[in-house]
Amino acid sequence: MPVLAAILGCSLVALVLVDAFNTIMLARRAEHMFRIARIFYLVTWSPFAAIGRRMKSGRWREAFLSVYGPLSLLALFGFWACGLITGFGLLQWALGMEPSASRGTFANDLYLSAAALFTMTTGDPKNPASRVIAVAEGGLGTGFLGLVVGYLPVLYQSFSKRELQISLMDARAGSPPSASELLRSSPVRAENLERQLEQWEMWAAQVLENHLSFPMLAYFRSQHPNQSWLTTLICIADSAAVIRLCSRGDVRQQAELTFAMARHAISDIAAVFGAEEKANAGERMSEGDFSEILGIISSQPGLYEPSLLSWPELQRCRTLYEPEAFTLSEHLLMSLPLWVADQASQEDWRARGPNREDVPFTVSDPFHRSPGGTQK
Q: Which of 108, 131, 149 is the last residue of a domain?
A: 149
Tell me whether residue 131 is in a domain. Answer: yes
**pLDDT value, residue 35:** 74
Q: Which of 98, 132, 149 is the last residue of a domain?
A: 149
Please say whether the beta carbons of 171 and 283 come within 8 A: no
Tell me whether residue 304 is in a domain. Answer: yes
Range of the domain at 177: 158-347+359-367
Residues 136 and 169 in one domain: no
Residues of the chain with pLDDT under 70: 26-34, 97-104, 120-126, 275-282, 343-360, 368-376
Tell me whether residue 373 is in a domain. Answer: no
Please state, in angstroms and as integers, the Cα–Cα distance from residue 120 to each residue in 136, 219, 246, following that order.
10, 34, 66
Q: How many CA atoms lie within 13 A of 303 on its CB side?
A: 20
**pLDDT value, residue 67:** 93
**pLDDT value, residue 27:** 60
Residues 173 and 320 in one domain: yes
Total number of domains in the chain = 2
Residues 163 and 145 in one domain: no
Q: Which one-letter DSSP state was computed for residue 98?
A: -
Tell me whether residue 353 is in a domain. Answer: no
Tell me whether residue 228 is in a domain. Answer: yes
Q: Which of 149, 179, 205 is the last residue of a domain?
A: 149
Residues 165 and 290 in one domain: yes
Residues 315 and 180 in one domain: yes
Residues 199 and 143 in one domain: no
**pLDDT value, residue 173:** 85
Residues 18 and 123 in one domain: yes
Question: 339: how many CB neighbours lie within 10 A of its CB?
Answer: 23
Residues 172 and 79 in one domain: no
Taking the model in full, what pTM does it have?
Answer: 0.84
Tell me whether residue 352 is in a domain. Answer: no
Residues 219 and 305 in one domain: yes
Residues 91 and 220 in one domain: no
**pLDDT value, residue 6:** 83
Tell me whether residue 293 is in a domain. Answer: yes
Residues 165 and 260 in one domain: yes
Residues 232 and 327 in one domain: yes
Q: Whole-angstrom Cα distance, residue 203 to residue 163?
A: 10
Which run of H or E residues covers position 334? none
Q: Whole-angstrom Cα distance, residue 325 to residue 1?
A: 50
Q: Which residues contact 206 (CB under 8 A, 6 or more apart)?
A: 161, 162
Tell me whether residue 372 is in a domain. Answer: no
